[in-house]
Amino acid sequence: MVLLSLVATHSNVDLETVARLSVGAPQVPSVALADDRSVSGAVVLATCNRFEIYAEAPSEDDVEAARSAIVSTISEYSGIPEKSVSASFETHTGQDVAEHLFAVGAGLDSAVIGEREIAGQVRRALTEAQGSGAASGGLVRLFQAASKTAKEVGAQTALGSRGRSIVSVALELAGDISDDADWSGKAVVLFGTGAYAGATMAALKDRGCTDISVFSSSGRADAFVATRGGTAVAAADLPGAMRRADVVIGCSGSDARIDAADIERVREGSNRPLVVIDLALSHDFDPAVGTLDDVELITLESVRAAAPEEQADALAQAGDLVREAARSFEEQQNTRAMNAAIVALRQHTQAVLDSEMERVRAQHGCTAAAEEVEFALRRMVRQLLHVPTVRARELAAEGRQDDYTAALEALYGIDVAPAAPKAPAAPATAEGATASAAVVPAARLHHTHADGAVCPVDHERPARSA
What integer pLDDT is reported at residue 448 of this predicted model? 45
- Same domain membership, residue 108 and residue 82: yes
Beta strands 247-250; 231-232: pairing state: unpaired
Residue 174 belongs to some domain of the structure:
yes
pLDDT score recorded for residue 263: 92
Number of domains in the chain: 3
In a domain, 361, yes or no: yes
Under 8 Å between Cβ of 300 and 278: yes
Residue 366 shares a structural domain with residue 298: no
Q: Which residues fall in the annotated binding site?
A: 47-50, 110, 115-117, 121, 192-197
For residue 419, being part of any structural domain is answered with yes
pLDDT in single tens digits along all 466 residues of the chain: 799 999 998 777 877 788 888 888 888 888 888 876 889 999 999 987 789 999 999 888 899 999 999 999 999 998 999 999 999 999 999 999 999 999 999 988 876 777 778 888 999 999 999 999 999 999 999 999 999 999 999 888 877 656 567 888 889 889 888 878 899 999 999 998 877 788 899 999 999 999 999 998 888 899 999 999 999 999 999 999 999 999 999 987 666 788 999 999 988 878 889 999 998 767 889 999 999 989 999 988 888 777 666 566 777 888 999 999 999 998 888 777 677 777 777 787 788 778 777 777 776 666 657 677 777 677 777 777 787 888 788 887 887 878 878 777 776 677 776 555 444 444 444 444 333 333 333 333 344 444 444 443 344 444 444 4
Instruction: Kindly state whether residues 156 and 197 are assigned to the same domain.
Output: no
Judgement on whether residues 285 and 221 belong to the same structural domain of the protein = yes
CB atoms within 10 A of CB 96: 17
User: Is residue 327 in some structural domain?
Assistant: no
Last residue of a domain, one of 144, 162, 180: 162
Question: Are 284 and 249 members of one domain?
Answer: yes
User: Are 356 and 268 members of one domain?
Assistant: no
Name residue 280's amino acid. Answer: A
CATH at residue 81 = 3.30.460.30
Both 150 and 27 in one domain: the answer is: yes
The yes-or-no answer on residue 48 being catalytic is yes
CATH number at residue 225: 3.40.50.720
Range of the domain at 95: 2-162
Same domain? For 197 and 240 the reply is: yes
Name the active-site residue from 48, 209, 251, 366.
Answer: 48
> Cα–Cα distance between 86 and 74 in angstroms, integer?
9
**pLDDT at residue 60, as a whole number:** 87
Q: Which of 101, 130, 162 is the last residue of a domain?
A: 162
Strand order in the sheet with 2-9: 41-47, 50-57, 2-9, 90-93
**Rounded to the nearest 10 degrees, how much is the dihedral formed by the CA atoms of 19, 21, 22, 25?**
170
pLDDT value, residue 115: 76
For residue 332, tell me if it sits in a domain.
no
Residue 450: inside a domain: no
- CA triplet 37, 41, 47: central angle to 5 degrees? 130
* Burial class (CB within 10 angstroms; exposed 0-12, middle 13-18, buried 19+) of 418: exposed
Same domain, 371 and 391: yes
Q: What are φ and ψ of residue 316, in 5° steps?
A: -65, -40
User: What residue numbers does the annotated binding site for substrate cover?
Assistant: 47-50, 110, 115-117, 121
Statement to judge: residues 158 and 108 lie in one domain: yes
Task: Let me know if residue 104 belongs to a domain.
Answer: yes
What sign does the dihedral 19-25-29-31 (CA atoms) show?
A: negative
454 domain-assigned: no
Nearest residue to 460 via CA among 443, 452, 448: 443
pLDDT at residue 459, rounded to an integer: 41
Hey, what's the torsion of the CAs at 157, 163, 166, 171, to 10 degrees?
-150
- Look at residues 287, 306, 325 and tell me which one is the last residue of a structural domain: 306
216 and 282 co-located in one domain: yes
Residues 6 and 119 in one domain: yes
Exposure string for 104-128, b = 16+ CB within 10 A, e = fewer: bbbbbbbbbbbbbbbbebbbebbeb
